[in-house]
Amino acid sequence: MGRAVIEAAVSAGIQLVPVSFSTQKESGQIVQVGGQNIQVYGPSDKEGVLASIFEEHPNLIVVDYTVPDAVNDNAELYCKVGVPFVMGTTGGDRERLYKTVEDSKVYAVISPQMGKQVVAFLAAMEIMAEQFPGAFSGYNLQVMESHQASKLDTSGTAKAVISCFQKLGISFHLDQIKQIRDPKEQLEMVGVPEEHLSGHAFHIYNLTSPDETVSFEFQHNVCGRSIYAEGSVDAAIFLAKKVRSKADTRIYTMIDVLREDAAISKPSTAMGGTELSPHHLLGVGRYWVSEKGSLEFSFPMRVVF
């Protein structure tokens, strides 16, 4: 995910900050990403390094794509230092996550889904659930989600869609989700292209009437990570504006990002409709280097907008 976000950031005119956090084992390594040498720091250094960078660059924004087990500890660190952040990582204790941010009053975009087009679909589902509660009462729901083997948790997008179906009157428990992580099954049963086994998100929701005479199927499939990377960059820019304007609201979702995009006129620029100006936003995100030395999650960035 980190490489995809970096590519989106670079294409938007963002310069990388050469700092990264990882495990103690990788501490001290130099990783080359986006044409730059990134200095890797271990867990014992991350608070001091992040605080130092935030002091030097008070417009810092962190974008987090790590692992579910790191969500809450990372958020607590960002809030302790006072750094605004975009949380693209799913999982963790979400109630604790929101309370941490609310108590700290740090600005944040938190979303289980960063792809703006998928978020628009989720928004449509929310509207349907709100306006037509119980419309699918008695229907049977089957859900299948397939992601790359490295994704450890259940799809946050699937959970959000299921929540809408529950409001529409369908009885369904999250443990009923068919979660597929085996590459062979993904190829043969799901139809994931082989070149995207390492990065994809396929979802199918099938509804059947009690007498099995009526059926509905909702499906959204994503190959690659560019849709999430581009949304993450847009979220960071959105959040920077909120910080700069000292907005009263502190916690946002990708639906808020979409709404703001829809509410403004979009000139054709390299920043997805954002006017260029002399202001600078610098952000340090998080690299997670695997045991094999490959870059897996998140990105440090410098945004000029």
Instruction: Express each pLDDT in 218-232 by its tens digit.
Output: 999 999 989 999 999
Q: Which CATH number describes the domain made up of 116-223?
A: 3.30.360.10
The yes/no answer on whether domain 2-113+228-304 falls in CATH 3.40.50.720 is yes
- Comparing CA positions, the residue from 1, 3, 40 lying closest to residue 23 is 40
**Higher per-residue pLDDT: 272 or 48:** 48
Residue-level pLDDT at 10? 74
Cα 147 to Cα 223: distance, rounded to the nearest angstrom? 10
CB 222 within 8 A of CB 162: no
Cα 204 to Cα 155: distance, rounded to the nearest angstrom? 12
Task: Name the residues annotated as catalytic.
Answer: 147, 151
The pTM of the full predicted model, rounded to 2 decimals, is 0.76
List the domain boundaries for the chain.
Answer: 2-113+228-304, 116-223
User: How many C-beta atoms lie closer than 10 Å to residue 85's C-beta?
Assistant: 27
pLDDT at 273 over 60: no
Residue-level pLDDT at 264? 66
The mean pLDDT value for 94-111 works out to 95
Taking only Cα atoms into account, the Rg of the chain, rounded to an integer number of angstroms, comes to 20
CB 61 within 8 A of CB 86: yes
SS3 19: strand
pLDDT at 45 over 80: yes
Residue-level pLDDT at 50? 93
Cα 59 to Cα 106: distance, rounded to the nearest angstrom? 13
> 């847009």: which residue's tokens?
234
Residue-level pLDDT at 210? 96
